[in-house]
Amino acid sequence: MKSGSWSGGSPRARLRVALVLAVLGALVYAAVGGARSDAGGGWTVQLRHGGTFTLASSIAAKVKAHKPINYVFSYGSCSIQGFSQQYQAGYSDSLPQANSIYPITGKRLCPPQTQQDVNTQINQIQALLNTNQVDCLSIEPQSSTSMASLVAQTLAKGIPTFTVGLSTFGNELTNFTQVPFQEGTTAANTVLSYMKAHNMHFTTFAVSGGDPTQYWAQQRAIGFRKTIEKAIPNANFVTTEKNMLNTTYDPGKTYDAFKAFLSGAGKNVQVIENVDIGAGYAAQAIKDAGLQGKAFSVGWNVIPNEIAAIKNGTQIALFDQNWPQQAAFGAIACAEFMKTGKVLPNTQHLTVITKANLNSGLAELKNFKQYALTGLPG
């Protein structure tokens, strides 16, 4: 195919210009024709950071006529190991439950890439917004700031919007998520109860993680440290949130990092708090260094080697964020809001699994319906 830049200047150039103009004209016409205005008319609630939210009149009309509403759930990626799976499960299982409160039809959106792709996530939601297919929205933002302006838009349009997962700087109705600082506190309290129950006196601690600079990693570490320091004044933190041991998420590297740490700077450490999935490798390194009984780990998420470590006593506890519960929240909150106008609050708490409640805890996690969302009437 050769370039067309040689002869035939006039007719070809004219057609090309005409084509582009036609496309532009169509777009302008579409823009003008497709605008959708929305005045308030439904009920009004207070927003998280001040201001009020009023339900769009079209949606309110649907509710009055008891027609099903369109619920959309958007999360950051379809293909993150573990996370996406649990989110999808939580969402699917939530729909029947939500429908028993108020009829809703659900649509689930996620960008296919594993990497953060804010643009795609926004485009996906916009597509449904622009075609008036969103009556209620729940978003898991990939960063605290990326969805903030989108949420402002949807609220201005009168669409109830919730966020789950990462805490966000938006002004949504509810941000249903773990609070990382509280998570850290819970972790610390778990360690303190363990010390009390087994009559142990730990004084030397360390924190580690696969992605130390992340906000949630930092807050989990800070919450842990502050709570420990309050209860144990002479506690010594070999690594704090400022110089957290960076294990990465690669299993081999994680293990190596702990092994090196335990034979070096951390040789006197008694409790390692790993703020994500690597704690099982810490436990393994502890065992391989012959420090079993002297050093312990705590960590996050249900990972097989963590469970094994709990069983053999090297890991004190693991904490689960209840991803399925987060994914389930939106549908139920939407149904509830449509039916009663009530906004469900954030009631997420960490599920603590220790040796004592190992079996029942795991079972409970598997069947998330058991931990009903508190605050739900009936």
**Binding stretches for another protein (CB under 8 A):** 1-9, 11-12, 15-16, 24, 26-36, 78-79, 107-113, 115-120, 122-128, 130-133, 142-146, 148-149, 169, 211, 213-215
Residue 3 C-beta: closest distance to another protein, Å:
7
Residue 8 C-beta: closest distance to another protein, Å:
6
Task: Name which of 34 and 290 has its Cβ closer to another protein.
Answer: 34
Residue 92 C-beta: closest distance to another protein, Å:
12
Task: Name which of 213 and 312 has its Cβ closer to another protein.
Answer: 213
Task: Name which of 105 and 263 has its Cβ closer to another protein.
Answer: 105
Task: Name which of 107 and 355 has its Cβ closer to another protein.
Answer: 107
| Burial class of residue 59, CB neighbours in 10 A (0-12, 13-18, 19+) | buried
Residue 203 C-beta: closest distance to another protein, Å:
32
Q: Which of 164, 173, 148 lies closest to 43 in space, CA to CA?
A: 173
Residue 38 C-beta: closest distance to another protein, Å:
13
Residue 157 C-beta: closest distance to another protein, Å:
12
Residue 113 C-beta: closest distance to another protein, Å:
5
The whole-angstrom separation of Cα 229 and Cα 237 is 9
Task: Name which of 21 and 372 has its Cβ closer to another protein.
Answer: 21
What are the two backbone dihedrals, phi and then psi, of residue 287, each rounded to the nearest 5 degrees? -60, -45
Task: Name which of 35 and 65 has its Cβ closer to another protein.
Answer: 35
Task: Name which of 133 and 374 has its Cβ closer to another protein.
Answer: 133
Residue 349 C-beta: closest distance to another protein, Å:
25
Task: Name which of 117 and 364 has its Cβ closer to another protein.
Answer: 117
Residue 252 C-beta: closest distance to another protein, Å:
21
The whole-angstrom separation of Cα 331 and Cα 70 is 10
Task: Name which of 217 and 277 has its Cβ closer to another protein.
Answer: 217
